[in-house]
Chains A and B, each alone.
Chain A
Amino acid sequence: MPRVQEKAKILENHREAEGIHRLVLYAPRIVPTARPGQFVMVRVASEGSDPLLARPFSFHRLHKDDGLFEILLRVVGTGTRILSQRPPGTAVDVVGPLGRGFTPPSGPHETVAFVAGGIGIAPLRALLDELIVKTHKDHPERLHVFYGARTRSELVPLSPLKRLGVQVVVSTDDGSSGEAGTVVEALRRRYEGTLELPDRLYACGSLAMQVSLARWASGRDFPMEMSLESMMACGIGACLGCALPALDPDDPQAERYVHVCQDGPVFDPRRIRWDKIQPIMARPLTSVSP
């Protein structure tokens, strides 16, 4: 798939929840080949050299017929603050589509769980959009969405998923909306003690969520993909800065570094050496470093 450097015009900028913005960008050269789970590098500085580096954002929604994509960003530092303040009509340098996207389900018979912690909803929404109109058009009830945030004000609206027949479980850590507790606890309540398990699981969220879900996943052998993040400079496999320790697929006894930008950002969480990752690593792809 050709990767493209393009000046993308910001058409809309909405505040979706506390500290979370949704940007709609026009990028007719990037969008046609884009896949859910892939990402773009967005340059923050409009001129000059500070902040120097571009930031990675996964596709939140893809509108292929219109040449549009959306990103969902949480303001965590200077770069994301500048982007969140960009008015419609301005342009940003974007490189994409980058990385490996989600592997779609093999057919409508699969029950599919989506586990989104906070801003981790960003890449999962693009995949949900796709499955709703493609594989699971006639079986939206087999799509199970678990979406959690710290508190009610940080939840992004998920309408019209429920109306379409998708099963949605919302949770907040403080119980201010939906079930009380973490999203992984909500997932366990749904499946544990029943004979039913999803046939496939997709996830994205905080490091705490990733670790907790990876622990739940170990010993279960259904397909599972998690969108990860790492500090990244280029997004195209050149700088090798976004390394994460992982098991070598060719030799499970051996370990090697994988690179989030080209081996991922979507990984089987059971391959990642979570015990060797420091807390400042591996935030969800949408809530990049300052």
Chain B
Amino acid sequence: MGQNPTDHGSAPDLRVTLGPLQLANPVLTASGTFGYGLEFADFVDLSRLGGVVVKGISLKPRPGNPPPRLAETPSGMLNAIGLENVGVEKFLTDKLPPLLKRGAVVIVNILGNTVEDYAELARILSGASGIAALEINISCPNVKEGGMAFGTDGRMAARVVAAVRANTSLPLITKLSPNVTSIADIARAVVDAGSDILSCINTVSAMAVDPFSRRPKLANIVGGLSGPAVKPIAVRCVYETLRAVSCPVIGIGGIQTALDALEFLVVGASAVQVGTANLVRPTSCLEILDGIERFLRQQGLGAITDYIGTLDTQCRFPFADESCPVGIA
């Protein structure tokens, strides 16, 4: 590394600022793919991550959906876990303290059946110390209540966000669904209601069937698609969201490598969340973080902020991927 002639002497500055939220670097984990963080402690120094977004938390524990809950699809994974979680009480007593002790920046994903549930969760979590931000899940496609009814209707989405906003001063991220006609409309509605930051996308509503048994591969029949298959959809959603609102956006969807993450960052995402890749390779986040740092050195950039949002929408030859230096991916 040190011998590389394009390297800068000092390490590139990876710090990013997302409205009220300051992070040491732009690589976070995506909710639902990193458990409560502790599951990964054998593999990852949790304090090195930009943030740990924990599994969606509800007021009461949720058992989740009946199995089968998972199916593999081309370059993707279909899931209908059903928001299984330990509930906020147990999260605060059993999960949060060891996570904070390991130096993790903890962002809590919250979900509810009603607007009041979200408000109550915001109230409870604001009373706990050490939480860096809340991420509002209004976009899970896998349970009837689970939020998507809120996330696909701008007025309902705004009501949820306003209720949370009224009950917390923590930085607020709203996680958007791609399963809408216009993600820009929803984005505007939730930002107007008080969301500081947007994250997109949640999983893409999808279905897979076994032609022999003639049965759906998931007991829930439909599920949420994640993994590399959804990445181009996610990049487009981030692009459209950024054109609609002026608040910071976190890119999520199919990020497996540093180059995938950089794709979101150049479009204008201030940070990224890595999801399904964690399940496949527990060390994915740190490898992506190291890859971003190598990329900045090779490009001669001193800070990630020099790269974020520098998309040149005039498409020219040669395409960037043909001149990609090795060792980034």
Contact = CB atoms under 8 A, between A and B. Distances in A.
B75 interface: yes
B118 interface: no
Given A52-B280, A238-B35, A278-B219, A5 B43 contact: yes
A245 interface: yes
B43 A54 contact: no
Interface string A264-288: 0000000000001111110000000
A241 B72 contact: no
Given A43-B281, A233-B279, A236-B39, A244 B74 contact: no
B33 interface: yes
A50 B79 contact: no
Contact of B72 (A5, A52, A237, A256): A52
Contacts of B285: none
Interface residues of A, number: 39
Most buried by B among A240, A245, A256, A257: A240
Interface residues of B, number: 40
A289 B84 contact: no
B97 interface: no
B43 A239 contact: no
Interface string B250-285: 000000100000000000000000001011111100
Contacts of A240: 35, 55, 64, 69, 81, 84
Contacts of A279: 213
A234 interface: yes
Contacts of A234: 39, 278-280, 282
Contacts of A48: 75
B307 interface: no
A95 interface: yes
A53 B33 CA distance: 13
Contact of A238 (B34, B68, B69, B283): B34
Given A238-B278, A239-B33, A257-B64, A52 B40 contact: no
Interface of B is mostly: loop
A52 B42 contact: no
Nearest to B278: A238
A214 B210 CA distance: 28
B227 interface: yes
B87 interface: no
A80 to B, nearest CB: 12
Most buried by B among A236, A245, A279: A236
A51 B77 CA distance: 10
A232 B68 CA distance: 10
A289 B79 contact: no
Given A238-B278, A241-B81, A276 B210 contact: no
A244 B210 CA distance: 20
Contacts of A276: 66
A193 interface: no
Contacts of B42: 2-4
Contacts of B278: 234, 238
Given A53-B77, A234-B278, A280 B72 contact: no
A50 B281 contact: no
Contacts of B76: 52
Contacts of B55: 240
Contacts of B308: none
A281 B210 CA distance: 13
A95 B84 contact: no
B152 to A, nearest CB: 24
Contact of B70 (A238, A239, A256): A239
A290 B71 CA distance: 10
Interface in A45-62: 48-54
B227 A49 contact: yes
Interface in B32-81: 32-35, 39-40, 42-43, 55, 63-64, 66-72, 74-77, 79, 81
Contacts of A278: 67-68, 215, 219
B54 to A, nearest CB: 11
B35 A52 contact: no
Contacts of B279: 53, 233-234, 238-239
A52 to B, nearest CB: 5
B34 A243 contact: no
Contacts of A256: 63
B302 to A, nearest CB: 32
A93 B281 contact: yes
Contacts of A49: 75, 227-228, 256
Contacts of B283: 5
Contacts of B35: 236-238, 240
B82 to A, nearest CB: 9
B67 A53 contact: no
Contacts of A93: 281
Nearest to A235: B279
A256 B84 CA distance: 11
Nearest 3 pairs of A and B residues by beta carbon: A241-B70, A238-B35, A234-B279
15 contacts: A3-B42, A5-B43, A5-B281, A5-B282, A52-B76, A52-B77, A231-B68, A233-B77, A234-B278, A234-B279, A234-B282, A236-B35, A238-B39, A240-B81, A257-B67
Interface of B: 32-35, 39-40, 42-43, 55, 63-64, 66-72, 74-77, 79, 81, 84, 210, 213, 215, 217, 219, 227-228, 256, 276, 278-283
Given A52-B280, A238-B39, 6 more contacts: A48-B75, A49-B256, A231-B70, A239-B79, A240-B35, A257-B63
